[in-house]
Amino acid sequence: MKHIQANDSNNDNRDESSYSRREILKMAALAGTGIVVGMSGMASLFAINNGQKIIPDPEDFQSEIVNKDVIPFYGVRQAGIGTPQQMYMCFAAFDIISNNVEKLKQLLKIWTDISAEMSAGRALRETNGQREVNSIGEKYTDSSAKLTITFGFGSTLFTKNGIDRFGLGTQCPDELRDIPSMPGETIHSQISGGDICIQACSSDPTVAFHVIRNLAAASIEIAVIRWIQTGFIDASNGQTPRNLFGFKDGTANIELESEQGKEKHVWVESSKGPAWMINGTYLAARKIRMDMEKWEQTFVRKQEAIFGRTKNNGAPLGMHDELDAVSMREIPSDSHVWLARSTGTKILRRSYSYFEGIDPVTGNLNAGLFFISFQQSVRKQLVPMLSLLAKDDALNPFISTISSSVFACPPGSSEGGYIGEQLFEVN
C-alpha cells in the first residue's frame, strides 16, 4: 500500500496537467471526505489515517460485476435518453468555477470513469479489513439498479456573460439557446440553466441520489452544484405511467421509442451539425407546478376534455383503447393533446413527477412535473408546441412553469475516451 504524506501535494512541483487522470481523481476525492468510495474501478477507496492520506493499490480490491441490471454506459449514444425510463431520477446542474480548460477536461474524464464504473455496478471490496463498499459509494447494493447517467452542456459552458472562458465559443450549436419566454410562466434562474447537467436515473432512488453525490464529490474546486431536482414515476409494470393528475402520460411516445422514430426526431445527424453533436441530442427541462387542489375539484369529464383522453385507460376521446388512433374531430380543439399534435412536430418525453411537501405560503401541495424532452431541435420541434400550449391549452389554469433549461447532450463515449471529447478534441 502506498502512503502519501498529508502535505505531499504542496511539495509537489508538478504542473497540474502532468497529473494522471487517476491521480486527479484521487485528489478530488481526498479533497472531499475522509473516505470516499466508488470513484473508479480500481484504487478508489481512500482513507485518512493518522494524518496521512492512504491510497491503496488496485490489488487491494477485488473488482467484480455483481449485477445483472446493467445498462451499458459506453456506447455511440448516451444512455438515459432512448433507453427505457427507470422509476427514479436525480438531476443536477453544475456551474464550472474554474476557467482552466484542462481542469474542465480532467473533470469530464473523471466523471466519465466514475460513471462507467457506477453504471456497471462494479463492486469494490477492501480486502484488508475495515469496510466493504461498492462503486455506488455509501449505497450498499448488489445491483446498479438499471442506472443510467446522462451528461449535457449548457450554453454558458461556451460563453458566459460575454466571456468565452474555455475557447469553446465557436463550437456552440445554434440549437443551444434558451427557450423564449412563454405567456403565464415565471422562470426562477436559480433552478434553471447551468454549465453542465447530469441526469441519473435508476430503479432505486438511493442509487440515483448517491450517483449525483459521488460525482459532486469528485468535482471539488472545479464545479459546484447549481440546482438539483429529484423525480419519480409510478411503477407501471410495462404500462404507461400516470402523472400526478392521474392520467397516463407518455402514450404518444411509443412511436418515438422505435429506433426509426429516434433517428428521425431525436438523434442529431451529420447534416444538422456541429460535427461534435452527431449522435447527440438536445435536452429541454422545465419544472411545471401542478395545482392538485384545483384539479381535485374538477369533474373527471372535464379533466378528460382538458387532456383529450380518458382517465381510466388513456384512450383518445371517442375511441376505446389507449393505443387507438387519435381523431382530431373527436377531441376539443383547446385540449392538451389536440394542441400538442397540431404543430405536426414530435419530441421524446421522459419526464418525472415531483413532490416537495407543502408550500409554506399557501399550504397547498408543492408538486408537479419535471418535464424533460429530447429532440434534434428545440427551436423547430419543442418551441412551436410550447407556444401553442402556453397560449390556448385548457390545462393552463392548473399548471405554472417555474424553471426552464436547455442542454446539448453530446454523443456517448467509448472505453478510454470521455464524454464531450468530440467537442474538446476539435480545438
Catalog residues that contact ligand HEM under the rule CB under 6 A: 243, 245, 247-252, 286, 288, 290, 307, 309, 326, 336-337, 340-341, 347, 368-369, 371, 382, 385-386, 389, 399
State how far the Cα of 375 lies from the Cα of 357, in Å rounded to an integer: 32
Minimum CB distance to ligand HEM smaller for 148 or for 375 = 375
Helices (H), 143-288: 205-217, 259-265
The distance of closest approach from Cβ of residue 64 to ligand HEM in the complex, given in angstroms and rounded to an integer, is: 40
State how far the Cα of 338 lies from the Cα of 328, in Å rounded to an integer: 6
The distance of closest approach from Cβ of residue 373 to ligand HEM in the complex, given in angstroms and rounded to an integer, is: 6
Are 1 and 53 in contact by the 8 Å Cβ rule? The answer is: no
Minimum CB distance to ligand HEM smaller for 277 or for 331 = 331
The distance of closest approach from Cβ of residue 371 to ligand HEM in the complex, given in angstroms and rounded to an integer, is: 5
Assign 380 to helix, strand or coil. Answer: helix
The distance of closest approach from Cβ of residue 395 to ligand HEM in the complex, given in angstroms and rounded to an integer, is: 6
3-state secondary structure 312-336: CCCCECCCCCCCCCCCCCCCCCCCH
State how far the Cα of 78 lies from the Cα of 422, in Å rounded to an integer: 13
With a CB cutoff of 8 Å and minimum separation 6, the contacts of 53 are 3, 4, 5, 6, 8, 30, 46, 47
Minimum CB distance to ligand HEM smaller for 27 or for 367 = 367
Minimum CB distance to ligand HEM smaller for 126 or for 392 = 392
The distance of closest approach from Cβ of residue 351 to ligand HEM in the complex, given in angstroms and rounded to an integer, is: 7
The distance of closest approach from Cβ of residue 337 to ligand HEM in the complex, given in angstroms and rounded to an integer, is: 4
The distance of closest approach from Cβ of residue 389 to ligand HEM in the complex, given in angstroms and rounded to an integer, is: 5
Minimum CB distance to ligand HEM smaller for 42 or for 399 = 399
Q: For residue 83, give Cα distances in angstroms to 31, 51, 149, 258.
A: 35, 45, 11, 10
Minimum CB distance to ligand HEM smaller for 73 or for 295 = 295
CA 275 to chain centre: 22
Minimum CB distance to ligand HEM smaller for 278 or for 388 = 388
Are 245 and 303 in contact by the 8 Å Cβ rule? The answer is: yes
Are 382 and 373 in contact by the 8 Å Cβ rule? The answer is: yes
Backbone angles phi, psi at 28, to 5 degrees: -60, -40
The distance of closest approach from Cβ of residue 151 to ligand HEM in the complex, given in angstroms and rounded to an integer, is: 23
Assign 10 to helix, strand or coil. Answer: helix
Minimum CB distance to ligand HEM smaller for 160 or for 311 = 311
State how far the Cα of 396 lies from the Cα of 417, in Å rounded to an integer: 45
The three cell numbers locating residue 313? 385507460
